Amino acid sequence: MRAINVFWKDLKILLGKPMLLITLLGVSALPMLYSGFLVEGSWDPYGNTGKLPVAVVNLDKGAQYEGKTMDVGNDFVDELKTNTDFNWQFVNAAEAEDGMAHNRYYMTITIPADFSQNATTLTQEKPVQSEIIFEPNSDYNFVAGQIGNSAMNKLKSKLSAQITEAYTRSMYEQVDTIAAGLGDAGSGASELQEGADKLTDGLSTLKTNLNKLSSGTTELQSGLKLLYKGAGSLNEGTGTLTAGTADLASGLSQLSKAEKQLQAGAEKSQSGASQLAAGLESAKDGSSKLTAGLTASEAASGQLAAGAQQVAAGLEQMLAATPELQDSEQFQQLLAASKQVADGSVQLHSGQEQLLAGSTQLTEAQQQLYDGAAALSSGGTQLVTGLGTFGDKLNDATSGSSRLADGAVALKQGASQLTEGLTKLAGGVEGLSEGAGKLTDGAGELQDGSGKLASGSGELAQKLNDAAAETASVNSGDDTVSMFAEPVKLVENTDRKLDHYGLGIAPYFLSLALFMGALVFTTVFSLRESSVPDASPMGRFASRTLMFVMVSVLQSLLADAVLLYGLKLEVQSVPLFYLFTLIVSFTFTMIVQALVTWLDNPGRFLAIVLMIFQLTSSAGTFPLELLPQWMQKVNPWLPMTHSIVGYKAIIASGDYALMREQIVYLLSYAVLFLCLTFFYFLRQNGKRTKAPAQELTA
């Protein structure tokens, strides 16, 4: 109780001296001024960057991309004109250089002349990155340069999104063009399918006509075989006829020389006439067969000519209906061959008609010859009975037999030529039959190919139309383009974000201010002596400690009041904020009191050293992980570390459990150093002081 009386007496003396009271109040206000000025000066530096002058130099010349003008430099400048992050000054290169040299600008942003040109190389094999030259004026202010770096990264992201949006719009325009082209291609494929169907129908008609041609040539070949056989018989008959007429001529010659032998000659003539009749009978039969064969041949050749002409006409119709076949060499050869076959078949039919007419005349001549032979036979009979009449006509008969012999020779020659011609005709018809068969096979393959062409072109048309529909369905609206330009959007969760920089730095500045307030108090007031004469060591301990605690309370209340009501510092709990500040100030007071009480000025120096360690190692400005390893190890042992963590919990997070944990640490330090101060005065037990009142100050 007596120790408390020493405090009250010291306080009474203090209140009676205005200068000491003013000094006490000044020391009490020091943490308020220190923390208030520091927090207010750092309250929202990033919110006032709009006052920082920044030079912008646009040298971009623009470029052409996909037929459109691309002027990214001007677009960037327009973006800056609506941006209030800095005080943008749009100047030329010389003015920017002069402003940087004379510290009128904190940084310069230069857009090079090839900025837009480089931006158009994105889709090329070797794209060139567009560059923006950022030059901070660190000699003028280093922090402003760092702020500029952060702002430029944001502007770069916006500019990259704008460039990407331009490319994306161009890409979608090309997709729309492709969709239209696919639609046109699908329509063309449909038309191709229609043409292929017509080609298939034409080839079917061609194949039918070629089958008729092949069948007609086969029938013609059979008829020619019969005609050839009849021509052989005719040749043999004309040989016999020639021999008979020769004998007839010889007989008549002998008859005219020797009438005596007329009877024998008449008999021989009768015999020769009979043989002649028989030979002519055979010749007549052969001639009939020849006529029949030629008739069949003429009919077949007529069918052949008609079929060949139909084939040629069908090919010409197919060529007119399908213009694509005009470039086909094989089809042109096929058309030319069909025309040649048609012309040859017409000529063949004409020859067959002539041959049939000649055969008819031959048949008539043979009939006449046969009739003559019959008459000759009858006349031979009559000759036997009437040699008188025969004698008169003998000369005429001799002359007729000579002419008959000549006609027989000519007939034999014609029969030989007919046989030779029929042989050649048979060979040509055989080749025609073989060619018609190959032509039919080729027409079948061509028809199969045209069917595949129609099927394939139909499938192609379907695929192209489907592709056109799918391509046209691609969404190219502004939302899609924006999605491509900026596919990832950063959404910030502001639940743990502080509105102002001052809120984050206040725990550090307030802790530093309270420590500095405790340290300054030791330079104004004595911590060892009392103004009360003969005060005991315990009285001095109580007086000095209570006086120091009273000042720390005043410092805490003034500092908190200015921060809460002057700077509008927002905290999770105002009462807890006051309580924690009192504990922090009390802890720092006990630490400084113990050091100065024990060591005096060296103790003050040690307190300053401790403050320096805490400035760097308490993680008040930079994260703990960014500090050197030895500082990270010292950090948990520093009182300011726990004061900063506790203030962050009260101001920002509201983690009161963490705050209570820090209070335990701080009070542990306070009790420890209070005990050290107590031990110092305990050692002074038995001593008394007679210091005058002025010794209240150091």
| % of the chain beyond a pLDDT of 70 | 68
Q: What share of the chain is helix, strand, coil (3-state, %, to 5)?
A: 80, 5, 15
pLDDT value at 528 more than 80: no
**208-441: what fold?**
Helix Hairpins (1.10.287)
pLDDT value at 274 more than 70: yes
Query: Per-residue pLDDT averaged across 394-404, rounded?
Result: 73
Greater model confidence, 512 or 481: 512
134 strand-pairing partners = 109
Query: Per-residue pLDDT averaged across 318-335, rounded?
Result: 79
Asked if residue 507 lies in contact with residue 577, where contact means CB atoms within 8 angstroms, the answer is no
Greater model confidence, 526 or 492: 526
* CA dist., res. 220 & res. 222, Å (int): 5
* CA dist., res. 348 & res. 429, Å (int): 10
Greater model confidence, 546 or 373: 546
Model pLDDT, residue 77: 83
Greater model confidence, 694 or 286: 286
Asked if residue 282 lies in contact with residue 240, where contact means CB atoms within 8 angstroms, the answer is yes
Greater model confidence, 69 or 388: 69
Work out whether the CA dihedral 285, 286, 290, 292 comes out positive or negative.
positive
Architecture of domain 49-184+468-492: 3-Layer(aba) Sandwich (3.40)
Model pLDDT, residue 588: 93
pLDDT value at 40 more than 60: no
pLDDT tens-digit map of 102-123: 778 878 889 898 888 887 776 6
Query: Per-residue pLDDT averaged across 254-272, rounded?
Result: 72
Residue whose C-alpha is closest to residue 587's, from 655, 656, 502, 646: 646
* CA dist., res. 219 & res. 345, Å (int): 14
The model's pTM: 0.45
Residues 419-426: contacts with CB under 8 Å, at least 24 apart? 419/228, 419/231, 419/232, 419/235, 421/355, 422/224, 422/227, 422/228, 422/231, 423/228, 425/224, 425/348, 425/351, 426/221, 426/224, 426/225, 426/228
* CA dist., res. 273 & res. 369, Å (int): 11
Query: How does the average pLDDT of the chain come out, rounded?
Result: 75
Query: Per-residue pLDDT averaged across 165-173, rounded?
Result: 54
Q: Are strands 87-90 and 133-136 parallel, antiparallel or unpaired?
A: unpaired
* CA dist., res. 639 & res. 630, Å (int): 17
Residue in the structure block whose two tokens are 């004379």: 102
Greater model confidence, 350 or 666: 666
Confidence of residue 695 (pLDDT cuts 50, 70, 90): very low
Tell me the DSSP string of 582-612: HHHHHHHHHHHHHHHHHHSHHHHHHHHHHHH
**Token digits of residue 171:** 């890409």
Model pLDDT, residue 16: 59
pLDDT tens-digit map of 411-449: 777 767 777 776 776 676 677 667 767 767 776 777 777
> Which residues lie closer than 8 Å to 361 by C-beta, 6 or more apart?
none
Separation of CA 225 from chain center: 73
pLDDT tens-digit map of 202-237: 767 877 776 777 777 777 677 767 766 776 776 777
